[in-house]
Amino acid sequence: MSEGTPNRILRVDLSNRTASSEPIPSTWLRTFIGGKGLGARYLYEELEPGIDPLGPENRLLFLVGPLTGTLPGEPRYAAVTRSPLTGTFLDSYAGGSFPEALATSLGDHLGLIVQGAAEDPVCLDVADGDVAIHSTDTWGGDTVETAEAFSEAATACIGPAGENRVAYATIASDGGDHHAGRGGAGAVMGAKRLKAVVARDDAPNGTESLCESYAERFRENETGRWLAASDTVESVDYADEVGALATRGWTEGRFDEVGSVGVEAVRDAATGREREHEAVPGGFRVSTDEGESVPRGATAMSLGAGLGIGSFDAVATLGERCNRAGVDVISAGSAISWAIRAANDGTIDRRPAFGNEGDARELLEEIVDRKTPLGDALANGVDAATARFGGEELIPTVKTMELPSYDPRGAQSMALAYATSDRGACHRRARPVEREPVEGQWSPSEAAATIVREQDRRSVLWSLVVDDFAGDVLEDFGSELLEARGLEYDPEELRTVGERVWTLTRLFNVREGFDRSDDELPAALETPLEDGQEESGVDPNRFESMLVAYYARRGWGMDGLPTRETVDRLGLAGVVDDETALADEPATLTSTRRSSRSAKHDRNGEPQ
Q: Is the pLDDT of residue 206 over 60?
A: no
Summarised one tens digit per residue, pLDDT across range 7-47 is 999 999 999 999 999 999 999 999 999 999 999 999 999 99
Q: pLDDT tens across 223-249, in order?
A: 888 888 888 999 999 999 999 999 999
CATH code at position 72: 3.60.9.10
Q: What is the CATH number of the domain that holds 429?
A: 1.10.599.10
DSSP-derived letter for residue 520 is P
Cα dihedral 585, 40, 462, 200 in deg (nearest 10): 180
List pLDDT tens digits, range 315-334.
999 999 999 999 999 999 99
Of the listed ranges 133-137, 139-143, 410-414, 416-420, the least confidently predicted one is 410-414
Please tell me whether residues 423 and 354 are part of one structural domain. no
Alpha-carbon gap, residue 386 to 395, rounded angstroms: 10
* Rounded CA separation 13/116 (Å): 5
Highest mean pLDDT among 94-98, 574-578, 599-603: 574-578
Residue 586: φ, ψ to 5°: -75, 155
Whether 99 is in a domain gets the answer: yes
Are 288 and 431 in the same domain? no
Within a domain: 580: no
Q: Are residues 90 and 45 in the same domain?
A: yes
Q: Report pLDDT digits (tens) over 300-320.
A: 999 999 999 999 999 999 999
- Model confidence at 194: pLDDT above 50: yes
Is 605 inside any structural domain?
A: no
> Same domain, yes or no, for 418 and 454?
yes
Residue 588 CB coordination number (10 Å): 12
In a domain, 284, yes or no: yes
Query: Do 242 and 366 fall into the same domain?
Result: yes
* pLDDT at 207 (0 to 100): 57
pLDDT, residue 535, reads 57
384: left (phi over 0), alpha (psi -120 to 50) or beta: alpha
* Residues 378 and 439 both lie in one domain: no
- The reply to whether omega before 465 is within 30° of 0 (cis) is yes
Residues 415 and 373 in one domain: no
| pLDDT value for 204 | 56
Whether residue 418 sits in one domain with residue 370: no
Residue 420 in any domain: the answer is: yes
Query: What is the residue range of 562's domain?
Result: 409-569
Give the total number of structural domains in the chain.
3
pTM, two decimal places = 0.94
- Which residues lie across from 80 on neighbouring strands? 61, 91
- The pLDDT of 477-494, averaged and rounded, is 91
Residue 578 lies in a domain: no
Please check whether residues 396 and 455 belong to one and the same domain.
no
Domain harbouring 288, CATH code:
1.10.569.10
Which of residues 352, 381, 402 is at a domain's end? 402
Domain boundary among 169, 199, 229: 199
**Res 606: pLDDT:** 40
pLDDT value, residue 467: 84
Residue 256 domain-assigned (yes or no): yes
- Residues 558 and 422 both lie in one domain: yes
Question: Are 354 and 382 part of one and the same domain?
Answer: yes
Examine the pLDDT at 400 and tell me if it is beyond 60: yes
Are residues 191 and 226 located together in one domain of the fold?
A: no
Distance of alpha carbon 62 from alpha carbon 78, whole angstroms: 6
Positions of E strands within 239-354: 272-273, 284-288, 291-293
608 domain-assigned: no
**What mean pLDDT is reported for the chain?**
92
Cα–Cα dist 407/245, whole Å: 6
Report residue 214's pLDDT band, with 50, 70 and 90 as the boundaries.
confident
Nearest CA-CA partner of 514 in 597, 396, 392, 587: 597
From 384, 402, 420, the end of a domain falls on 402
